[in-house]
Structure 1
Amino acid sequence: MSFAEMLEGTRVWATANLPIVVGGGVALVVLTFLAVIAARRRGALDPSKLATANANALTGERALNWAPPEQSYADRRGAVRREGQPVRVLLASNTFRNGAGDGYVVDRSTGGLKLATQSAVPPGTTVQVRAIDAPDTIGFVTVIVRSCRKNTDYYELGCEFEKTPPWNVLLLFG
């Protein structure tokens, strides 16, 4: 059987089975798209790829000495989770030295935030959070620390919004 005969046989088969051919083509495009998205997410938390934010003098130098953690995919949350790039934030509470600290939002939902910080904060503490890149017209958002877990070189704070902020403020956290 020559190549031309094989090509003609394939064309006849594809014409007779058009729904299978179209479905296979669509499946191939969807799988390729999902593979590209998964590859981007795997590299999304690489500290070398994080955009450097304009920080104030209080938090600028300390924040460069550590990187945000990788995400955990275990989820018990009832609110819708939104993933994305880590967002640098300024934290204000009397538990921090000088009353202020910094960290990263590594996970967010309509119910709260998961923050990565360099210092531990006891559960039940009220903390004020503000994105570093937020406009001056946007104030701090109050969160209540529900859990504090030590990882290798940082602490993960599971925080709940005291009052859910408006959508435009939520978007500032990523």
Structure 2
Amino acid sequence: MKRFGFTALILFIASYASAYPTVGDKVTWNGTVNMVDGTKEEIKITKEVLAFNKDTRKWTVKYEADIGKDRTSKISEVEDLYSPDRYKEILASCVEKGGILEDITTSVGMYKTCKLTSIGSDGSIVEKWWGNLPFGVVSRKTQDASSQIAKRPDLNSILTGL
């Protein structure tokens, strides 16, 4: 009986992982940001799916970011959210698009990811590890091109870890 319960739990977890996006999905990333003055600030970013409107086919997503003592919070509607199909597309074309396939281990598990690097219009270097989870990003690292530190935290681009 114990073996059946364990097997059922594993199957439930596996089915949940492929069932996103769905209302209630919530992902939190934690890390640090290097400030211009040489200090480090703790960063915590959370995204959560609050609702889905069947008529407009839009998702309501809550975004919260804490950097040190500063907090930003917003709720927005989006037409498209990251999905298991999108993950499969990214993995299949990862190397072709200049990415690197990497296994990333976090405090909540191990993920097979595609690490993609891009350069922002301001010259910043952004590395993202895309995995199979709601919102897609397992880890993200942003560096200012000239000083290799964050001049001012951009809450949508400076986060590391899950």
The alignment's TM-score, normalised by the length of structure 2, stands at 0.28
What is the TM-score when the length of structure 1 is the normalising length?
A: 0.27
More strand as a share of residues: 2
* Higher helix fraction (1 or 2): 1
